[in-house]
Amino acid sequence: MGSMPEKPRHGFGSLVTGLQEVCESGITKDLAWRRSQLKGIIRLLTEKEEEMFDVLRDDLGKHRAESYRDEIGALVKSVNHTLRNLERWAAPEKVQAPLVSFPATALVVPEPLGVVLVFSCWNLPLGLALEPLSGAIAAGNAVVVKPSEFAPATAAFLASNLPKYLDPRAVKVILGGPEVGEQLMEHRWDKVLFTGSARTGRIILTKAAKHLTPVALELGSKCPCIIDRLDSKRDTQIAVNRIFGGKWSLCAGQACLAIDYILVEEEFAPALIEVLKSTVKRFTTTPDCMARILNEKHFKRLSNYLKDRKVAASVVHGGSVNPKTLTIEPTILLNPPLDSDIMTEEIFGPILPIITVKKIEDSMKFVRSKPKPLAIYAFTRNEKLKSRIINETSSGSVTFNDAVVQYVVEGLPFGGVGQSGSGQYHGKYSFELFSNKKAVFKRSFLIEFMFRYPPWDNGKIGMLRHVFNTNYVLLLLGLIGLRR
Amino acid sequence: MATEMEAEICDALYADVGKPETEAHVHEISLVKSSCLFALKNLKKWMKPKKVHARLMTFPSTARITKEPLGVVLVISAWNYPLLLSLDPVIGAIAAGNAVVLKPSEVAPATSSLLAELLPRYVDSTCIKVVEGGVSETTALLELKWDKIFYTGNSKVGRMVMASATKHLTPVVLELGGKCPVVVDSNINLHVTAKRIAAGKWGCNNGQACIAPDFIITTESFAPKLLEALKKVLEKFYGKDPLLSEDLSRVVTPNHFNRLLDLMDDEMVSDKIVFGGQRDEQKLKIAPTIFLDVPLDSAMMKEEIFGPLLPIITVEKIHESFGLINSMTKPLAAYLFTRDSKLQKQFESTISAGGMILNDTSVHLTNPHLPFGGVGESGTGSYHGRFTFDAFSHGKAVLHRGFGGEAKARYPPYSSAKLKILKGVLAGKLGAHIQAILGFPRGK
């Protein structure tokens, strides 16, 4: 139950204590310092844009447009939003104080947690490192970023550039694989944000429990896309455009927010598939319009899904894989077996199963039969169906008639629930995730009520009842009668 | 239940911890009632989806945050405020729409069985259940999959709860303890200060409360005055022989009694007693006991005391107290008595704690507008009022888009023209938005 902090062990002991000292010195708490760091991130994103495009292409084969839209541009927007609102978020918030405590002031004062650790993921290696970093800095913390070793060019880029654009005393990058991650977790952190798989998330949590380190987990899930019968051709085309954007255009489907599978009514499925096929053809005229698969391990995993005989039989478009270039063409399946791996695991790739249901309302039951996803997408004009989806399913978020764009709406929290994670961030939520909201209650010596103190008697209990029932009239009468 | 069963509840609380009737009313029954009433009054407001500014980027669209229940939650309560710490979280969990399992502390058996017996009579027992038991029952419960676990207790078990929660990736709220420091300046109303410290320490279950003042820091020169004031106040509150006073809780179990005796009789501190020290093993009672300048490496200064022992640590200048507090783990609450506004400001910005009060102790927990919870070793997550509702809810982001505003620039095949428009859109440039919506670039 000790109250004195434990002595740090293992290789990163001096890293952690050094950062704690930096925090204690008050540097990171200073608003001007925070602003300068956030501006440093903007400068990095502007000045090193070309280099960032290069490393993202090296690591994932992403086209610059995708890199800009999903990572660099989204970051610029987000950090500017933070800069505009920093003072407001950091300001103490006055709250109501009960009349009986008059004169008193009650405040909620946000303060930094201290030293935080951010684990980034390989699929949006820049975004998933810098977005949490900006939030942690905005909240006044010192930060260690551990980029994913699976995106080595980006990791190296961060390691060499963050010290140039940000204050290297308070912002550090640590490179390495899982052993490094585990070693880092041997220490106590004031907060950890982990983006990645549930398996690794559990390892992080287990280590965190030893030190009571609070952890926010951004995990994966099978994000369903419910497509209602759309009567107009234009609506269908737009829906399919957006589905493409939410699947193949997003790191070839390797994203936690990507559409994993589709649910559609039996009768509408053929029409949908036709439009999907033609749109895929139109959008993928050049090979660089879709990212490649991260590495051989994931390529094998995805190819194996298609090797399952019954799954292979359900392919209605695509299916070809190229182990040399680590690319898989956009592949559409119609009703693969529900117990196949591809329908029980998060796909994280460019394969899109379509599951048909008799009535679109049945899709909600299907979604509920699986763990709560990070996002649910639904294309429909039916307001009743929309209400039902919101009320009868649970997910990190719900987006109607589009996919993934909720990521850039700064006012909306981003995060999962249940198996898809816990803790939310983006915009103000990032600031809060990395803050301690300290309750502050200021009283004066002026007014003192004797009934607070022992020795107790029934008279005092009576007065206390009035206080708790906020019956100020009776309280006042009692005071006049009882005043000593 | 809290109204009709008042007498039974007071009896159970007396049986469990020897809690005086007033404390039972003020600290437990009344707080449970006000918590319920506050939730009832505000429920509609809390449940209402919150509209969020959707901005130009996703135009046309509307964005909202909808609160939904997490599902089935587990509340593990503590023994010192066995009614309040059971029902307060349960109230919030119900308000947020969850099914709840409550595991009251076995160290307060009378209250535990009272809750097991009464709760099903007053609430829907298909959704709200009480499971009694000790370590093995708690361990078995922790093996199961919950949507949230809310634990109040000590950090050792807190670690075990967090470790168990890992299996199912269950989020947790941990309301733990710590050493709550009280810094006492000389620029104060001494009599009122002494009363408020005494009320927060010995008037709160005889020091067995997570937010009870644990130790005092004051200047060498002021300590004697403070000590005299405390002695006077204690005699007024509890009489010349505190062991005979009905207004002091007893120590909860022989284990804790012996633990406190060990702290008191430790040769590092036993010669530092300046007041009190009386104990009654039969009744498990220890009188308010004050120590002056115990060594900082004594057991009393390393562990959370959770009892009627109060060390006073002296420093030369009052500002030195901040460094001392910061050398320890972050407490659940920190208290400062002073009229000096500069000192107040410094305290507020230098000390990190779950909560802090200026010129009083403990009372912040009765304000439902303030979040109550720890930071660092004192816990994670907070509750009370709306914060309990939020702790047991998921704020689901909902974005409604229409089929209008289709931007070709979003889709491949990519081109530098498209990239230019995207850049403009992301930078919030209206011109770029218009181009995007109008379907630029033309051609492909």
**Sequential pLDDT tens for chain A (484 residues):** 444 444 444 579 999 999 999 999 999 999 999 999 999 999 999 999 999 999 999 999 999 999 999 999 999 999 999 999 999 999 999 999 888 788 899 999 999 999 999 999 999 999 999 999 999 999 999 999 999 999 999 999 999 999 999 999 999 999 999 999 999 999 999 999 999 999 999 999 999 999 999 999 999 999 999 999 998 999 999 999 999 999 999 999 999 999 999 999 999 999 999 999 999 999 998 888 899 999 999 999 999 999 999 999 999 999 999 999 999 999 999 999 999 999 999 999 999 999 999 999 999 999 999 999 999 999 999 999 999 999 999 999 999 999 998 888 889 999 999 999 999 999 999 999 999 999 999 998 888 888 888 888 888 888 888 887 777 888 888 877 754 3
| Interchain proximity A409–B54, CB inside 8 Å | yes
Helix (H) or strand (E) holding A104: strand A104-112
Helix (H) or strand (E) holding A122: none
Omega before A103 within 30 of 0, i.e. cis: yes
Neighbour count for residue A245 (Cβ, 10 Å) = 22
CA pair distance B354, A111, nearest whole angstrom = 10
SS3 A483: coil
Q: How far is CA A356 from CA A87, A341, A359, in A?
A: 50, 18, 9
Pair of tokens at residue B319: 């500002």
What's the rounded mean pLDDT across residues B282-311? 96
CA pair distance B392, B45, nearest whole angstrom = 16
DSSP A259-315: --EEEEETTTHHHHHHHHHHHHHHHTSSGGGS---S-HHHHHHHHHHHHSHHHHHTE
Least confident of A304-318, A446-460, B1-15, B286-300: A446-460
Q: Give chain B's end-to-end CA distance (angstroms, integer).
A: 70
Facing A111 at nearest CB: one of B30, B165, B352: B352
A301-334 burial code (b ≥16 CB/10 A, e <16):
ebbebbeeeebeebbbbbbebeeeebbbbbbbbb
CA pair distance A415, A432, nearest whole angstrom = 13
- Interface residue B326 vs chain A (CB under 8 A): yes
State the pLDDT at residue B441: 81
| Interchain proximity B22–A456, CB inside 8 Å | yes
**A224, β-bridge pairs:** A261
**B116, β-bridge pairs:** none
Least confident of A434-443, B8-17, B221-230: B8-17
Nearest 5 degrees, angle CA B129-CA B133-CA B139? Answer: 95
| Interchain proximity A65–B412, CB inside 8 Å | yes
What's the rounded mean pLDDT across residues B66-94? 96
Q: Which of A440, A446, A467, A475 to mutate to test the interface with B (most CBs of B within 10 A)?
A: A440
CB-CB contact of B279 with B182 (8 Å): no
ipTM of the complex, rounded to two decimals: 0.90
Cβ-based contacts of B162 with chain A (< 8 Å): 205, 208-209, 212
For A276, residues 6+ apart whose C-beta sits below 8 A from its C-beta are: A240, A243, A244, A317, A332, A352
Cβ-based contacts of A411 with chain B (< 8 Å): 52-55, 63
State the pLDDT at residue A474: 81
Q: Which of B35, B49, B135 is nearest to B94 (CA)?
A: B35
Q: Which of B425, B173, B213, B397 is nearest to B304 (CA)?
A: B213
For A190, residues 6+ apart whose C-beta sits below 8 A from its C-beta are: A112, A113, A114, A115, A116, A141, A213, A214, B376
Cβ-based contacts of B31 with chain A (< 8 Å): 468
Dihedral sign from CA coordinates of B328, B333, B339, B342 = positive
Nearest 5 degrees, angle CA A23-CA A27-CA A31? Answer: 120
State the pLDDT at residue A360: 96
Cβ-based contacts of B426 with chain A (< 8 Å): 68-69, 73-74, 76-77, 408
Pair of tokens at residue B239: 């009489």
CA pair distance A319, B163, nearest whole angstrom = 43
Confidence of residue B437 (pLDDT cuts 50, 70, 90): confident
Neighbour count for residue A69 (Cβ, 10 Å) = 26
Distance from CA of A285 to the nearest CA of B (A): 6
- Interface residue B336 vs chain A (CB under 8 A): no
- A66, A223, A256, A265: the catalytic one is A256
Does pLDDT of B109 surpass 70?
yes
User: Which chain B residue is nearest to residue A401, measuring alpha carbons?
Assistant: B401
What's the rounded mean pLDDT across residues B400-425? 83
| Interchain proximity B31–A468, CB inside 8 Å | yes
DSSP state of A425: B
State the pLDDT at residue A483: 46
Rg of chain A over Cα atoms, rounded to whole angstroms, equals 27
CB-CB contact of A4 with B302 (8 Å): yes
Confidence of residue B443 (pLDDT cuts 50, 70, 90): low
CA pair distance B44, B35, nearest whole angstrom = 15
Does pLDDT of B57 surpass 80?
no
State the pLDDT at residue A4: 45
Q: Which of A46, A456, A467, A469 to mutate to test the interface with B (most CBs of B within 10 A)?
A: A456
What's the rounded mean pLDDT across residues B238-252? 93
Nearest 5 degrees, angle CA B395-CA B401-CA B404? Answer: 170
The residue whose two tokens read 């209400």 is A387
Cβ-based contacts of B55 with chain A (< 8 Å): 409-411
State the pLDDT at residue A6: 45
Length of chain A: 484
pTM for the model:
0.92
Facing B25 at nearest CB: one of A68, A439, A464: A464
Interface of B with A in 110-139 (CB under 8 A): none
Cβ-based contacts of B354 with chain A (< 8 Å): 436, 438-439
- At position A174, the amino acid (one-letter code) is I
Neighbour count for residue B123 (Cβ, 10 Å) = 15
| Average pLDDT along chain B | 93
Rg of chain B over Cα atoms, rounded to whole angstroms, equals 27
Q: Which of B367, B387, B402, B400 is nearest to B67 (CA)?
A: B387
**Greatest mean pLDDT range, A14-28, B360-374, B397-411:** A14-28
Give the percent of chain B with pLDDT over 70: 100
Distance from CA of B144 to the nearest CA of A (A): 14
| Interchain proximity B177–A1, CB inside 8 Å | yes
Length of chain B: 444
Facing A205 at nearest CB: one of B55, B166, B397: B166
CA pair distance B150, A232, nearest whole angstrom = 50
Q: How far is CA A96 from CA A11, A93, A100, A476, B364, in A?
A: 47, 10, 12, 21, 12
Q: Which of B241, B410, B415 to mutate to test the interface with A (most CBs of A within 10 A)?
A: B410
CB-CB contact of A260 with A354 (8 Å): no
Cβ-based contacts of B322 with chain A (< 8 Å): none
- H-only helix segments in B266-340: 299-302, 320-326
DSSP B117-172: HHHHHHS-TTTEEE----HHHHHHHHHS--SEEEEES-HHHHHHHHHHHHTTT--E
CA pair distance B339, A334, nearest whole angstrom = 74
Q: How far is CA B339 from CA A79, A472, B192, B344, B360, in A?
A: 41, 28, 13, 8, 12
Give the percent of chain B with pLDDT over 90: 79
Pair of tokens at residue B394: 């998921």
Q: Helix-strand-coil percent breakdown of chain A, rounded to 5?
A: 50, 15, 35
CA pair distance A269, A357, nearest whole angstrom = 10
